[in-house]
Amino acid sequence: MAFDKEAMIAELSKLTVLELVDLVDGLKAKWGVEAAAAMPAGMMMAAAPGAAAPVVEEQTEFTVSIKSAGDKKLNVIKEVRALTSLGLKEAKDLVEAGGVVKEGVSKAEAAEIRAKLEAAGATIEVK
């Protein structure tokens, strides 16, 4: 059986982001590897001793995730539906399993989402 790259891409395109993350984690565990940023050899030599540290950019995009629905799961499901375009079943599944509510939002929007979901009773994580 020959490797069919296009068929593999088509199959992977059908997966959700959460399924892809799970797949990557499984491959890392099976192969015993960890993803690391590649650094050109010249880059290591470029920084002189005592040189100023590089400026760290402030994070501008945040991801809001549910860790736990708490005691008021129904209120959290309603709030997730109001914040997203998810249907009832999808919102319920997200709240029960935990996961990403919104990705790539501004700091202000992440704070607003966090406040609404915590008021509904959920435990939230913002990255």
- Answer whether residue 121 is part of any domain: yes
**Domain count for the chain:** 1
Looking at every residue in the chain, the average pLDDT score rounds to: 80
Q: Predicted confidence band at 118 (pLDDT cuts at 50, 70, 90)?
A: confident
Predicted TM-score (pTM) of this structure = 0.51
Of the listed ranges 49-63, 81-95, 105-119, the one predicted with least confidence: 49-63
- Tell me how many degrees the CA angle 19-34-9 measures, rounded to the nearest 5: 40
Whether 113 contacts 123, CB under 8 Å = no
- Answer whether residue 42 is part of any domain: no
- Answer whether residue 112 is part of any domain: yes
- Answer whether residue 78 is part of any domain: yes
CATH number at residue 77: 3.30.1390.10
Give me the domain span that covers residue 78.
62-126
Q: Identify residue 1 by its one-letter amino acid code.
A: M
Per residue in 61-72, pLDDT (tens digit) is 888 888 888 888
- Answer whether residue 3 is part of any domain: no
Per residue in 24-55, pLDDT (tens digit) is 888 888 888 776 655 665 555 555 555 566 66
